[in-house]
Structure formats: C-alpha cells, structure tokens
Amino acid sequence: MRKWQCGRIRKCCARNGNTLRCGNPKTMTPRIRWPIKVLETSCSRPNIMENGDRMERCGWVGVDETYLKYHDQEWGVPEYDSRALWEKLILDGFQAGLSWITILKKRDAFREAFEGFAPEVIATWGSVEVNVLLQNSEIIRHRGKIEATIGNAKAYLRLSEEIPFSDRMWAYVRGTPLVGGYESLAQVPTQSPLSLQISADLKKGGFRFCGPTIVYAWMEACGLLNNHTLGCHRHHEVCSMAR
C-alpha cells in the first residue's frame, strides 16, 4: 500500500483503491469506487500560477484573484459548523447553471439579503420576502432557487431536531475527510456514489437543488472530500486541518 505524508499527521493518507482517507490506514472504512470522468476542459500544462511566489495549484483556479484567494484560504478546509455547512450547500445550489466565481463575487450580497443565512429566520419567510429578493439585482434572482432556500431552511431545522446537521453530514465519511488523490483536474469526477447517496437522503428530508453534482462540489468545498490535486500546495495543508 502506497502512503502519503500530510502536514502534522504522519502517514495520514493511504491509497485505497481510487480513494484516500486521512487517518490511520488500519482503521480506514471500506473503499468507495469513484467513477472517473475525464473533463473536456482539462489542463494540459502545469497548473502553476503567479501570486507573489510561484506555487502549484489545482487546475481550475486560473488567475482571477477572487479564485486564488478562495482556493488558498477556503476551498477544502474541513467545515464543522452546521450553519456554515448549510450556507455553503445553499450557495452551491444557486450556482447550478452558473460559474462558481459568479457566486463568490455575489456572496456578501447573498449573506446580506438572506440575513446571514440564518435558517431559523429564513424558514419564516413567505411570498413577500421572495418578491423582495426577486428585486435585488445583487444576487441571483431565480424564484425557484429562492423558494427552495426557504424550504431548505425548514428541512434543515426539522433534521436538526434529530441530530446536528454537521454531525449528520460528517457521519457519511465517519468523521474523517476522504482524499481523492488525483494528480490532475482531468481525473476528477463530477459526482460519486457517496454524493448520490447524500443527495438522495437530503431530498428525502425535504431539500431541493441538492443533486449529486451539487453535493459533490459541496463536499469538496467543505472538506468532507479533499480534492486538492496531489501536487497542489494546499493538498497536505488541508489534510492536516482535519480533526
């Protein structure tokens, strides 16, 4: 078994089929077979970006400062706060059909318009609030997504009566981030068996705009799945941030 070193955790990543898992290789859960889908717009050149010092980053980053900052400071960092996990899931839902950088540049406006993404507040909204949001040019004015956010707030609160949302989501990976272990963007799939399962469970719980592709991107963003490519300077850093 080939092993990788990540930050402060010695031998914390062990290859297991097509998936790596941070943690003790002896206690790893059964492997998940990820479907490999080669993206049409993969990078054939080394994904080295200039930002002060030369360093390797994931191939999707590009040169936009908004993306650079997000990649270097947020993407893939394990998120354990229930409300923050829910916010990120909602924003990923708003991204459907759009580019993520569009959402990033509107994120502050979203937070202001949606009362800091407080589920207990949003769950009380109705047609009046929906119509106000539809007039807000600073956000994505999509009635279906706005109404789904209100419904998702209600679903979040219902599920949270049983178990905290964070505990529920992290239970899918047994509390330990999965590690994709991909060498290039071309190898990274857009969904997985696990994202299909989480998506189905969320829909059963009353969530909308949470398809398997959205959930997969959310898992990557929130650190349930460390999909920084192996050569990316953040791969080992993010792996060491797991509890």
95-130 confidence digits (pLDDT tens)? 999 999 999 999 999 999 999 999 999 999 999 999
206: domain CATH number is 1.10.340.30
- State yes or no: pLDDT of 53 exceeds 80: no
Cβ proximity of 152 and 208 under 8 Å: yes
- Joined together, the tokens standing for residue 44 give 């054939």
- State yes or no: pLDDT of 210 exceeds 80: yes
125 is a domain residue: yes
Which pLDDT does position 219 carry in this prediction? 98
Cβ proximity of 154 and 76 under 8 Å: no
Helix axes 82-95, 100-113, angle to 10 degrees: 130
7 is a domain residue: no
Report DSSP state, residue 173.
Answer: G
Split at pLDDT 50, 70, 90, the class of 191 is very high
Cβ proximity of 218 and 84 under 8 Å: no
More confident residue, 192 or 34: 192
- State yes or no: pLDDT of 87 exceeds 70: yes
Which pLDDT does position 128 carry in this prediction? 98
116 is a domain residue: yes
Q: How many domains in the chain?
A: 1
14 is a domain residue: no
pTM above 0.85, yes or no: no
